[in-house]
Amino acid sequence: MTRLLLFLIFSLGPIFSFAQCPGCIVNTACTAVPTTPALCPETLPEAIQGEPYEIDVTFFMPQQFTDPGSGFDITLSSITIATVGGLPPGLSATTNEADNVYDITSDPLTQRGCVKICGTPTAIGFYTISVNIIASVSSPISTDQPQSFTLPIAVVPGGSGNAGFSLTPNSGCDSVNVAFQALITSPSQPVTYLWDFGNGQTSTAFTPEDQFYPAADTYYVSLQTELLNYQVTGVTYTSTGDNWCGDIEEPSLPFVGCTGSPDIYYELSNGGATFTGSTQDNNNNFNQTDAAITLTETALSLSFWDEDVVTQNDALGTAVVQFQQPGVYSFNTGAGFGTVTIGTTVGISFVHNDTIIVHPSPNAPSILSGNLAVCDGDSIILSLPDAAFYQWYQDGIELLSANNDTLIVYQAGSYTADIRSVAGCLAVSDTVQTLFIEFPEEPTVFVNPVNNSFFYNPGSGYDWIWLFEGDTIAGTQNLSSFFPQEIGNYSVVVSADPTCALYSESEFFTNLGVEASPQFAFKLYPQPFQSGLLSIESEWITTGMIQIQMLDLTGRVVYQNLVEASNGRLSFQVDQQAPGMYLINLQQGEKRSTQRLIISASGPGSN
């Protein structure tokens, strides 16, 4: 049955908390083949610090199924989700049943439930959510059994939210490595990046190297992004043809040939626009260095002309230039050759900023407590300073639902705790060792009737001392036998620790010998005795149960029982014992008494 319930609880993996997180929607398709309890989805996704988190978790609880571990056919009647611990700060959860009780019938609508987990986690870290439920099973046996299970969830640091660049993570504890990525690009324009990471480092890369932030502080990051336009900044051309010759401006004379030189200018076409450059007169070599023509495409056309005021302008050649980056590009028209210089100019400039916060981890806390060694049955309260989150451990094992600043301890062990700050930074406490001191069995002082001495020995690990009229007797520490010297009440106090001591009942000593509370004398017969039925009579014995012990002279209990007495009488069966002297101790309430019993090899009590 335990394996069944553990399987069932594991299958019910959603977390639960008494908080307002409404609107859970059941996934009616959540099932399992073969039919067993199931969870949809099976694992929780990561939560991101500072970002809203929400998920609906459906659990399938069939009324009847076969437990895969034991092979039993199970009939499940109800499940109650009781408590939860360990939710990351900022998250809460609510079931779709107001009382958190799911009564399961043959109706499929009763066999599914859900939990909505939502909120905005405020602290990074790995958390272990502990859930406590009660599963009611009607078959193969009817039982209600509480169980606990754990479910991990990770809260990871968030990234940036600006439009110019991303960074991950944007926070950390003590130190952090951060990855950066520029976001603005252009398919047709050059883009430049100038990073200032706030840690003394800069970069011009689109994806710079990860940056290290070594100490708790607030770091301000900026990125200047510039979208550049291509621009023609210079044009040269040398005319090698003579088609400019022969018009009025540059006549061709007999026996002389062409006179003068062409008056060169150019027309530049790009992206549907045409730009006309200024004319440089009477020169075969054209050179312009102050052009500032902004381009929209990475191809341009250059046409060169000889300007003639009176006659028609003469074409000096045309070239098409392709480019992908700034530079000087050469061309040849067939009627001349030249270069075009491509540069850039800033078109649009953006500046985006973001912040990286490195939080300090809290100081390692000291666990506060009172006495760490107490008697069995007592408790020890351990406490921690203020923090946003707590998790206690016993002997290195996580304690379920132990998520408060105090822990009540009932067991011996080594106790430590994790604490987290509001930012999720972790600190581990010191370790305290608790000790729970066992009480010895209630001590009984025995009588040696042969020499009128007391004897008592609780075994190793205990200390004891004899008392006379409630006061300790010097020199009697850990004496297993003791010879009384004065008339009065003698007893012993025994302990494994001075704070956890038990006192025996008093035994009364007279100068006639040892008697235990002489007012409670009783008749014991037959004497001598061998085995069989032993009888007791006394006026002080009342109707009811009476405790009987039979001890040999070493203090070993050879018989012990509760026997019912009636009208001051009782009898009990005693098996064969070795011949010798024995003690019979009676106790009824506060009344106690002891008598000697002689067992012989044969006697009135023999069978």
CATH code: domain of residue 61: 2.60.40.10
Whether residue 102 is contained in a domain is answered as: yes
Residues 235 and 225 in one domain: no
Report the alpha-carbon distance of residue 485 to residue 168 in Å, rounded: 86
Query: What pLDDT was estimated at residue 173?
Result: 93
Report the alpha-carbon distance of residue 490 to residue 393 in Å, rounded: 47
Which stretches does DSSP call E strand in 204-332? Answer: 211-213, 217-239, 252-253, 257-258, 264-270, 273-276, 285-288, 293-294, 299-306, 314-322, 327-332
Whether residue 289 is contained in a domain is answered as: yes
- Greatest alpha-carbon span in the chain: 175
Residues 265 and 319 in one domain: yes
Closest CA to 561 of 585, 539, 532: 585
Residues 320 and 370 in one domain: no
Report the alpha-carbon distance of residue 131 to residue 83 in Å, rounded: 6
Distance of CA 361 to the CA centre of its chain: 16
Residues 65 and 111 in one domain: yes
Whether residue 339 is contained in a domain is answered as: no
Domain final position from 497, 514, 531: 514
Residues 268 and 296 in one domain: yes
Whether residue 342 is contained in a domain is answered as: no
Closest CA to 588 of 552, 555, 540: 540
Residues 107 and 237 in one domain: no
Residues 27 and 61 in one domain: yes
Task: Specify the DSSP class assigned to residue 110.
Answer: G
Prediction pTM value: 0.59
Structure tokens at 476: 């009697």
Residues 272 and 385 in one domain: no
> Which residues lie across from 8 on neighbouring strands?
none
Distance of CA 574 to the CA centre of its chain: 62
Which stretches does DSSP call E strand in 401-504? Answer: 406-409, 413-420, 426-428, 432-437, 446-448, 453-455, 463-468, 471-472, 481-482, 488-495, 501-503
Residues 68 and 202 in one domain: no
Could you tell me the residue range of the domain that residue 316 belongs to? 230-333
Looking at residue 580, which CATH number applies to its domain? Answer: 2.60.40.3080
Whether residue 556 is contained in a domain is answered as: yes
Task: Give exposure, 223-249, as e/b (b: 16+ Cβ within 10 Å).
Answer: bebbbbbbbbbbbbbebebeebbebeb
Query: What pLDDT was estimated at residue 15?
Result: 40
Whether residue 382 is contained in a domain is answered as: yes
Whether residue 400 is contained in a domain is answered as: yes
Domain final position from 156, 175, 206: 156
Q: How many domains does the chain have?
A: 6
Residues 223 and 143 in one domain: no
Whether residue 341 is contained in a domain is answered as: no
Residues 7 and 125 in one domain: yes
Query: What pLDDT was estimated at residue 17?
Result: 42
Average pLDDT per run of 10 along the chain, which is 607 residues long? 38 44 86 84 84 87 82 84 80 84 87 86 78 76 66 78 88 95 87 96 97 97 94 95 82 77 94 92 93 92 91 92 95 95 92 94 93 89 93 92 92 95 92 89 76 76 87 88 80 82 80 53 85 89 89 78 90 87 82 80 57
Residues 104 and 182 in one domain: no
